[in-house]
Structure 1
Amino acid sequence: MTAQDRNHGCRISDEWTYRGLRVLVMENDLLRVSILLDKGSDIFEFLYKPLDLDFMWVTPGGVRRQPWLDSYPDPVGPFLDYHEGGWQEVLPNGGRVCEHQGAHFGLHSEVWALPWRHQIVADGADSVSAKLWVRCNRTPFLLEKTLTLQRGEPALEISETVTNESEVELPLMWGHHPAFAPHFVDRHAVIRMPRCEVVSDANVDAASRFDPRQRFPWPIGKARDGREVDLSRLPGIGSGISDMLYLTELEEGWAQIDNSKLGVGFRMDFDLNVFRHCWLYMEFGGNQGFWAWGRQNTVCLEPFSSWPAILPNAAEQGTELRLGPRAHLDAWLRAGVVSL
């Protein structure tokens, strides 16, 4: 289907490029969502029109393509070198570099690094939809998803399917990695979660408030210095913290960040049968070395199938997903704006 020319209601267009990368733009009367087709189907803009509020974080480098050779390739992989912020899909490895069943994965590899194919499947004033799909390079996974906007609804609907195209059973991790902008996750912001347990990462940063593998009920935990920390209340820009946490044993499939000053929140409802946990990464100037250099102020609240980070660890913990030969798994997610 070819996109129609229309300047009202829902709209969709794949005739855009930004800094040399193909872009799909979807919008209705309340939202504009921009997707990098040539880089992982990353959502690099999630703009709420009534407030001119883009929820997505932008790194200092922003969107970049790679027209040069790396002087010294980073073993972590190119995720950090070309990370524009925004929202990535993560499959089949979440987290750091690892090797599993002979396949080597970089950070959050591998679908974020690949160009995706697409097709506009609905283009009307009341609703627009696009189907996007990609095949992994190092693993035999096919990931397909359909993105939809409805007139009058400040939410993006995502329905997706991962298929194992091989003849053997395979493990995987599957998640979504939205990073929120500092003007949204400032001191006026609060994280809301259903009842859950918090576990700190085994490799916490020196600027983390918590000890490795520390466990406590959401949201109150005891910091390294003995004081109580309310994780639901964000510490604010430049507060010097860097926390990596897993929210597990979720009673319901949703997560929300509210900002009382702006009068809106960002809510994600998701398929709890697949995205059984959330990862929570808070970085407010705590990481003074590579790659943040003290400039990073963001919160990542990430629906995820598995924990902890990296596929071998998730498999050891028993939280990985497993797909049999030629099997598939469906999931859904809805992300949007709520008024407070």
Structure 2
Amino acid sequence: MGRNYDNRRNYGCRIKEFTINGFRHMTIENNLLKIGIALDKGADIYEFLYKPKDIEFMFSWGAHMDRNIVPGVASCKGNFMDYYEGGWQELFPGISCGDTVNGAETGMHGEVALLPWNMDVLEDSEEKIQVELSVSTLRFPFILKKNLTLLINDPVLYVEEEITNTGMQTLQYQWGHHPAIGGNFLDENCEIIVKGSPAIKGVQADLGDVSCLKAGQEGIWPVVTDQYGNHFDLSKVERKESKTYREFSLSDLEEAEFVVKNNSLQLGFGMRWEKELFPNLWVWQMYGGGFNYPFYGKAYTLALEMWNSLPGGLSEAIKQKTAPSIEPSESKKTKFQVFVTLTDDK
């Protein structure tokens, strides 16, 4: 394991490291994909660019990655939203909002999304690059590692992950991924493709009074009746001018895979993962809705989040017995793929 790699290569698979506003960043790319990673801020993936069509898949929410930014007051729920730049966060070991678990106060969306991560280069060639990113949590005894791999001529990001409990007691946890889709990809020509007819359940969220689904409201994907009696096809992406907002979970998935397809661009963005470890899909539809802090009606994004545990935050999941356990010195591994697909039927 080491950091030696050819940072001068500008063709094939390649790696670059650089610093912006005091934050370490890196890009990994091949001839089809360019992926930007904020090493000093959660290893967030804020850029997922399909180079042949110059299409960006990640939602961008301002330039919040700056060491000079200091919030005027610390939020009782944590400062996740003060530093949220959009993109794709890893959320672990919980999604709590200001509660306490095992005597540790927890902020919004866990710990790892606001911590600096380590990076090592495992393989570097024109045909393949592989990097290992790792982080240790502060308030829980966890180590999280993930390997990211790109291959030449392949529009797929391959991800392998491992969590380890370094403590001397059994712990419960939540683990999920929050890829917020946007850029010049997301518009009203998009649709969400999820195989089968998974169960829908509305979830509670504190982003104003525009949520179309009541907390706990149930249905079958994709058409539901909202709390006002309107019929909605939740698979159809709406315009920003619709000012709609929803959050809901999908369970009983036929396959652990989704694709968001833009029928105008004839391009799709998708993920496939191991359903045994991540049986739930949390859907966040922010089509110009969501008023007051932090979005004030300006956000246009769609997130489809694979999760191991529902409902609510970690303390609630423990109470509802949906949070899995990990024994002392135990590790758990998983792997998944993030891919771009051409959808032209011609």
TM-score exceeds 0.5: yes
Deviation at 1:184, TM superposition (A): 2.2
2:115 paired residue number:
114
Distance, in Å, in 2 between the alignment partners of 1:183 and 1:208 is: 25
Structure 1: where are the runs of 5+ without partners?
A: none
Deviation at 1:301, TM superposition (A): 0.8
2:128 paired residue number:
127
Greater Cα offset, 45-54 or 197-206: 197-206
Q: Residue 8 of structure 1: which of 6, 11, 31 is its match?
A: 11
Distance, in Å, in 2 between the alignment partners of 1:68 and 1:250 is: 41
Greater Cα offset, 75-84 or 168-177: 75-84
Distance, in Å, in 1 between the alignment partners of 2:239 and 2:183 is: 8
Q: Residue 23 of structure 1: which of 19, 22, 25 is its match?
A: 25
1:69-91 C-alpha deviation (Å, 9 max, x unpaired): 43221222111111010100000
Tell me the secondary structure at the aligned position of residue 128 of structure 1. strand
Distance, in Å, in 1 between the alignment partners of 2:45 and 2:90 is: 9
Is 1:47 paired with 2:54? no
Greater Cα offset, 130-139 or 17-26: 17-26
1:287 paired residue number:
290
Paired residues of 1:147 and 1:158 also in contact (CA < 8 A): yes
1:310 paired residue number:
313
Give the direction of change, closer, same or farther, for the CA distance of 1:260–1:95 in structure 2 (3 Å limit): farther
Tell me the secondary structure at the aligned position of residue 81 of structure 1. helix
Deviation at 1:239, TM superposition (A): 1.1
Aligned ranges for residues 1-340 of structure 1 at < 5 Å?
1-4=3-6, 5-14=8-17, 16-59=18-61, 61-181=62-182, 183-195=184-196, 196-203=198-205, 205-340=208-343
Give the direction of change, closer, same or farther, for the CA distance of 1:154–1:54 in structure 2 (3 Å limit): same
Deviation at 1:162, TM superposition (A): 0.2
Count of residue correspondences: 338
Greater Cα offset, 137-146 or 185-194: 185-194
Distance, in Å, in 2 between the alignment partners of 1:63 and 1:34 is: 15
Paired residues of 1:91 and 1:111 also in contact (CA < 8 A): yes
Query: How high is the TM-score relative to the length of structure 2?
Result: 0.94
Structure 2: where are the runs of 5+ without partners?
A: none
Hey, which bits of structure 1, 4+ residues long, moved more than 4 A? none
Distance, in Å, in 2 between the alignment partners of 1:217 and 1:45 is: 33
1:87-109 C-alpha deviation (Å, 9 max, x unpaired): 00000012533222211111101
Distance, in Å, in 1 between the alignment partners of 2:183 and 2:238 is: 11
One-letter identity of the residue aligned with 2:187: D
1:137-166 C-alpha deviation (Å, 9 max, x unpaired): 000010001000001111111000000001
Deviation at 1:29, TM superposition (A): 0.5
Distance, in Å, in 1 between the alignment partners of 2:301 and 2:99 is: 25
Tell me the secondary structure at the aligned position of residue 315 of structure 1. helix
1:10-41 C-alpha deviation (Å, 9 max, x unpaired): 11123x11222111210000000011110100
Distance, in Å, in 2 between the alignment partners of 1:172 and 1:194 is: 28
Tell me the secondary structure at the aligned position of residue 240 of structure 2. coil
Query: How high is the TM-score relative to the length of structure 1?
Result: 0.96
Deviation at 1:203, TM superposition (A): 4.0
Paired residues of 1:97 and 1:105 also in contact (CA < 8 A): yes
Deviation at 1:294, TM superposition (A): 1.0
Tell me the secondary structure at the aligned position of residue 292 of structure 2. coil
Distance, in Å, in 1 between the alignment partners of 2:13 and 2:329 is: 36
Identity among equivalent pairs (%): 33
Distance, in Å, in 1 between the alignment partners of 2:319 and 2:236 is: 32
Distance, in Å, in 1 between the alignment partners of 2:186 and 2:70 is: 35
Distance, in Å, in 2 between the alignment partners of 1:37 and 1:274 is: 26
